Structure formats: structure tokens, C-alpha cells
Structure 1
């Protein structure tokens, strides 16, 4: 009897992580452990919250006995806020953190981050969102400029890959096999940049001068009649770098 294996599912979640003030000096060490656990650090910022901002962030804890000490602790110095992403990010991050009480964490989850870096129930080193909905709220609080667009998951993710990614990638891999370059990775990277279907189409224009109208036009390969774009590609130490210099010329009629 033939076994039917389920198709792999693609799920991407985001959660908020905070490195609290008393362990900010361990930032690089903690980030390394986060990356080793399979998380992607989507965005990061260092900031210091006022007591009022801490009160707003922990509004769901208002009225509890530890609330004044919590807000005082969290506003005592700079902290590091990070948006983390991976499959089941919320639950995996909570598991990596361990129990909220660092004393208990050292007994029951000795390899958790709070067991390693925390001190007690209050100074437990790190924060993690409790749910997907709280993660969205907390990310908006710490990163108000971030637009939380839904990430395609499951069948939607596969449809997106099939429609927008695979055709170009397969064409590039086919060209790679025919070309057989000395450095396949660099060649494919350059090919994908050159054949990116989403890049703007450049139109070649002839430089001209209009003396009578007090208007000077110096445009080559412009995106629009009123813009100029210059791209330079260079390779160093075996790595291809794309350096773009964008010069927008606003052409005002004299």
C-alpha cells in the first residue's frame, strides 16, 4: 500500500522579543543564540522607554502588585526590541525563553534563555509575546512605522512561488546549465539581477539643451522623462555587489 506523504506547509509568524535593560550588554551573544535557533531578525532597534510608555506597553498587567516595579525596571535603561520571524515564531520563542521566573527556569529549563541570563521573576532578561494577536500589538508599539502585511502561508505561499518566483528562477538555472560559468553562484546572481521581471523598464533618451526655455535636460536611461538613474556593478573578493546611485532631476519649466 502506497503511503501518501503530506505536502510541506509554509507558515511564517512574527513575534516581538525584548532584551531587557540589565542584559543589554549581552546583546550580541543573545542574538547569536536567536539566529542559531532558526529565527530571522526582521528588524531591530535600541531605545529607552519612559515609565509612561512602559505602563502603556504592559497595560494588561495594570493593577497587579508587581506593576510599579515592572515599569521602573523596564524604564531603567535602554533595551533592544526585535521582530523575529520563523515557523511558529510565537510558541518557539516562548519555549526558548523558558518560564518567566528565572529561578524556576534554572530548575526546570536550565538551558532556556531566562535561566541563563535572568535573575528572578522580575529581572528575567527577555520578553516574548504571548500570542499572535499580542505580537501584532506589541510590534506596532515598538515599531510604529512597520506595516504588518499578512505573510502568505500554506497554499497561498506555494501559489506565490509558482507564479512569481519559479518561472524566473527556472529560466536562470537553465541558462546557467547552458553557459557553465566558472563561478555559478555569482553568474546566477548577476543573471537574476539583469532579468528581474519587477525592475523598472528604462528608456534611453538623448541629452538635450533648451536655451530659450531656461531648461536643461541631461537624462540617460531614465525611468521617466524627468528622472535619471545610474547603476554600477562591481565585483570584489569574489562577491558581486550592486551599487546604485539614483539622481532625480526635477525639470521645472522656466
Structure 2
């Protein structure tokens, strides 16, 4: 077997991507929202967006369209539209699977047996009134986040070496110039000065290279 020269071997660092998922605190647990959010934050999640909303039966039917025709669908729609919910976009590495693990099995009784520290075991009462909802896969998370947060952009967030490479290539050169000039100028309000400098020196700012003329209206 040929020898490997350890000095010439470079190991690529693992690529870590922060993932997003949708969490919903269901109507009968909204009064426990602060407690549940505390569990979420202690578990390493970041809450990117949050809103309290009362869905209509029609909106709820659209949200759970994949369950249309199932026996429990009418009661699910009635329950989830019976009061306000708290919807949150959560982020962390492998957010979807970690959130599913944290909330526990769908059936609250089973959750209490197999995952006694899960959110559903602590706050749920049955299959439907099981305290919280969590997206089960990436495509579901994308659809559900867009449903409840229409302006949200659903893309993986680069982290680790990927983020460092991006900042090094795209952000740092311009930022370094700005910081250097900032040190020379020593303005009274350095943050505002730097913000204005970045706007004026944005390398991606559109430029008009061809001559143009402005015609006044008659």
C-alpha cells in the first residue's frame, strides 16, 4: 500500500447548513407559549420569525390539504381554527429532524411512554391536541413556512467554512476598505458614517455607462 504524505493531504471541513422548519403552538397551548419558546431556545434553535394568528376554517383546510378526505380531517380543521395559534420559523443545523425529536410522537400517550421529556408528552392531551406541530420533511417545511410567512425566503443558510468562504470573497474586501477609511476619518458617529460609506461604495450598485439625457415634460 502506498504511503500517504500527511503534509500534502488536506481535509475539507464538513459543510454545515442551518436549516429552517415550521413550528406551531396549537390553540389549547397558546397560554403555554412562553414556556414552550424557552424550551425551543434552550435546545439550540433560533426563532427567526413568529406570529400569532387565528386561521379561518378555509385557511386551515388549505394548510392541511394533504389530509383531505381522511376521517380526522373535519375535526382537525375545527380544532386548529378554534382559536389563535403561534407560528414560528425555527433555525439550526438539521432543524427539521431535531424539532421532530424534541416534540415527540404524534400520539401524546405514546409520547409520555417513549419520550417523557418531549413537548407533546409535557403539554399534549391526545392525538390531535398534542400541543405543537412540526414539519416532517424539507418540502413540507418550505410549503408551510411560505403559507404562514408569505414574505419569507426559504433557503439553507450557509454556516461554518461555507459562510467563511462567502464572507471572505464577497463581503470582507469592501468592508475592510470601509473600516480603513473609518480609522482615517475618525467620525463622531462611526456606525452611521460606515453605513453611509457602504451605501456610497457598494460595488454592486448599478452604474449607467452610456450617456443619457433627461427630457422635461411639455
Q: When the two structures are superposed, what TM-score results if normalisation uses the length of structure 1?
A: 0.65
Could you tell me whether the CA contact under 8 Å between 1:16 and 1:135 is conserved in 2? yes
Q: When the two structures are superposed, what TM-score results if normalisation uses the length of structure 2?
A: 0.75
Distance 2:39 2:157 in 1: 25
Match of 2:210 in 1: none
Distance 1:12 1:170 in 2: 30
Could you tell me whether the CA contact under 8 Å between 1:169 and 1:192 is conserved in 2? no
1:160 and 2:158 equivalent?
Answer: no
- Superposition map of 1:188-227 within 5 A: 194-195=193-194, 199-201=198-200
Choose between structure 1 and 2: higher helix proportion.
Answer: 2
Q: 1:201 and 1:4, CA in 2 relative to 1: closer, same or farther beyond 3 A?
A: closer
Q: 1:8 and 1:193, CA in 2 relative to 1: closer, same or farther beyond 3 A?
A: farther
In the alignment of these two chains, the number of paired residues is 189
Structure 2: runs of 5 or more not aligned: 184-188, 202-218
- Displaced runs of 4 or more, over 6 A: 169-172
1:69 and 2:79 equivalent?
Answer: no
1:54 and 2:60 equivalent?
Answer: yes
CA RMSD of aligned residues (A): 3.0
Could you tell me whether the CA contact under 8 Å between 1:45 and 1:82 is conserved in 2? yes
Structure 1: runs of 5 or more not aligned: 177-189, 203-254
Choose between structure 1 and 2: higher strand proportion.
Answer: 1
Distance 1:55 1:147 in 2: 24
1:59 is displaced (CA, Å) by 0.7
Distance 1:171 1:147 in 2: 29
1:114 and 2:113 equivalent?
Answer: no
